[in-house]
């Protein structure tokens, strides 16, 4: 059973972290801290838990933790990233100084950005699971690329986002049963179609367009922590494991390929595990015990996930 702690109080919210300790663990054994997905707009700390990863942590004597964070558009990206770095520092101060920072989808972005942030102690490793890693990539700076079909009333959705930016902060929004009918999922689709992610993330209207025209030099110095692929992947970056399906239609596989290449160029130990024919969320569909004798589900997927765990084991 996990234990819930408050790691931060901000904007009237008590940000929580769930900590699941293994049945037996050694002193200063590793902690894997996971950030949930949801395009930074949806989700909560228990959204689509990666059971295969939780089970693997339990079997290896590692602690598994998952933290909440404030969401777009009510909170700016700088504050969301601060929540992530504060969660890492809380784990470092209260559980173990041996930390793996992990995340799925938008949580993979937070894991990468937190690891690159100067306020974060260097983790043992970084794990990105189909990470939405680079808000300066072509996907997010060129208009006209809808997510799951065109948004009929883009202007209305963008106006709703503008209003929400003045609302009180929230630190969770349950993933909708029917995403196409959900208001916030409509915002996500509009942010993709209008190429406004960078604008809302940095609270700088027109930023995505300036990046498209001028390159990442258009990003102000104070906002560069929000663009870790452009400014944070340097020599000495922690060992990194990237897991991504090559049929992902929500967050393109090419994002992980680009990050792997950037890390290789600066001499970082990086492993890219490609899940052939798999889409977004492929590994969260069922409970998988990678250490059991019987393979549950797709054997090729299970083998890929085992390789991910083996990479992490090398770094702890």
For residue range 198-232, what is the model confidence (pLDDT) as tens digits?
999 999 999 999 999 999 999 999 999 999 999 99
Closest CA to 9 of 68, 65, 64, 63: 68
Return the DSSP state at 176.
P
pLDDT tens sequence across 121-176: 999 999 999 999 999 999 999 999 989 889 989 999 999 999 999 999 999 999 99
Residue 298: pLDDT above 90? no
Residue 285: pLDDT above 80? no
Residue 185: pLDDT above 90? yes
Residue 287: pLDDT above 70? no
The sign of the dihedral angle between the CA atoms of 161, 165, 170, 171 is: positive
pLDDT tens sequence across 243-268: 999 999 999 999 999 999 999 999 99
Residues 77-106 have a mean pLDDT of 99
Residue 1: pLDDT above 80? no
Closest CA to 266 of 236, 235, 241: 235
CA distance 207 to 198: 6
Q: Which residue has the tokens 């765990």?
A: 309
Could you give the 3-state DSSP secondary structure of residue 148? coil
At residue 240, the pLDDT reads: 99
Burial group, residue 152, by CB count within 10 angstroms (0-12, 13-18, 19+): exposed
Whether the pTM exceeds 0.85: the reply is yes
CA distance 301 to 270: 20
Could you give the 3-state DSSP secondary structure of residue 304? helix
Closest CA to 259 of 117, 121, 81, 116: 116
At residue 289, the pLDDT reads: 86
Q: Which residues of 102-141 are buried (b: 16+ CB within 10 A; e: fewer)?
A: bbbbbbbbbbbbbbbbeebeebbbbbbbbbbbbbbbebbb
Element (H, E) at 83: helix 77-94
% residues pLDDT > 90 (the chain): 90
312 — pLDDT class (breaks 50, 70, 90): very high
At residue 27, the pLDDT reads: 84
At residue 297, the pLDDT reads: 72
Residue 295: pLDDT above 80? no
In angstroms, the Cα distances linking 101 to 10, 231, 240 are 22, 19, 10
Strand order in the sheet with 31-35: 3-10, 13-20, 63-67, 31-35, 99-104, 125-129, 240-245, 270-275
At residue 253, the pLDDT reads: 98
At residue 294, the pLDDT reads: 64
Phi, psi (rounded to 5 degrees) for 242: -120, 125
CB 234 within 8 A of CB 259: no
CA distance 267 to 235: 6
Contact residues for 251 (Cβ-Cβ < 8 A; gap 6+)? 105, 130, 131, 132, 244, 280
CB 250 within 8 A of CB 147: yes
At residue 25, the pLDDT reads: 80
Q: Which residue has the tokens 């942030």?
A: 117
CA distance 109 to 256: 11
- Map out the domains of the chain with their CATH numbers: 3-315 (3.40.50.1820)
Residue 296: pLDDT above 90? no
Q: Is the peptide bond before 227 cis (omega within 30 degrees of 0)?
A: no
At residue 293, the pLDDT reads: 64
């Amino acid at each position: 059973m996990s234990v819930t702690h408050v790691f931060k109080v901000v904007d009237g919210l008590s940000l929580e972290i769930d900590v699941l300790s293994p049945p037996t663990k050694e002193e200063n054994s590793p902690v894997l801290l996971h950030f949930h997905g949801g395009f930074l707009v949806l989700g909560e700390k228990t959204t689509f838990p990666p059971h295969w990863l939780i089970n693997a942590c339990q079997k290896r004597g590692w602690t598994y933790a998952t933290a909440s964070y404030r969401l777009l558009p009510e909170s700016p990206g700088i504050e969301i990233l601060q929540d992530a770095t504060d969660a890492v520092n809380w784990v470092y101060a209260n559980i173990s100084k041996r930390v793996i920072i992990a995340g799925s989808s938008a949580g993979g972005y937070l894991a990468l950005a937190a690891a690159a942030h100067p306020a974060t102690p260097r983790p043992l490793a970084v794990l990105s699971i189909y990470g939405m890693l680079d808000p300066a990539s072509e996907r997010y700076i060129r208009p006209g690329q809808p997510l799951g079909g065109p948004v009929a009333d883009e202007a209305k959705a963008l106006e709703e986002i503008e209003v929400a930016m003045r609302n009180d902060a929230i630190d969770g929004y349950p993933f909708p049963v029917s995403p196409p009918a959900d208001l916030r999922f409509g915002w996500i689709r509009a942010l993709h179609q209008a190429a406004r992610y960078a604008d809302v993330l940095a609270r700088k209207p027109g930023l995505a367009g300036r990046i498209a025209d001028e390159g990442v030099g258009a990003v102000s110095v104070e906002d560069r922590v929000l663009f870790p692929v452009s400014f944070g992947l340097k020599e000495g970056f922690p060992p990194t494991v990237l897991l991504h399906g090559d049929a992902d239609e929500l967050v393109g596989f090419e994002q992980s390929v680009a990050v792997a290449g950037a890390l290789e160029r600066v001499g970082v130990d990086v492993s890219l595990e490609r899940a052939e024919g798999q889409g977004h969320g492929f590994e969260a569909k069922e409970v998988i015990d990678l250490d059991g004798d019987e393979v549950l589900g797709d054997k090729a997927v299970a083998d890929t996930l085992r390789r991910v765990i083996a990479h992490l084991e090398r770094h702890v």
